[in-house]
Amino acid sequence: MDLQDVREWVVRSYYSEGGLRKWVKDNWVDIANKKSDGSYPKCGRSGGEKRKNYPKCVPIAKARAMTKGQRAGAVRRKQAKANTGPTPSRAATFAKKKKKA
């Protein structure tokens, strides 16, 4: 079991214990727009607020468990989606694992 598998297991087990209520109450942050002090802004935008990148929201626990490359990849996948229309497009946080031939 490598470090990535351990991180995924921690995040999955965290949500399986609390269910939907815990999921909703989590501290969701935007990993696409890091603040200058190194923290992440809250997910969502207030009326008229502009941000550099389209938000990619994850719970703070998942954001901390992700590597710098995983966060960058998740943001890239979100930016690549066409986020037009009334509802945001969903982009996978983690890339699908490639099967070994």
How many other CB atoms are found less than 10 A from the CB of residue 35?
Answer: 9
Domain ranges of the chain: 14-80
Name the phi and psi angles at 14, rounded to 5: -60, -45
* Full-model pTM: 0.67
Question: Residue 85 has what pLDDT?
Answer: 72
Which residues of the chain are modeled with pLDDT < 70? Answer: 1-3, 10-11, 13-17, 82-83, 101
How many other CB atoms are found less than 10 A from the CB of residue 61?
Answer: 15
Q: Quick one: which H or E segment has residue 59?
A: strand 57-59
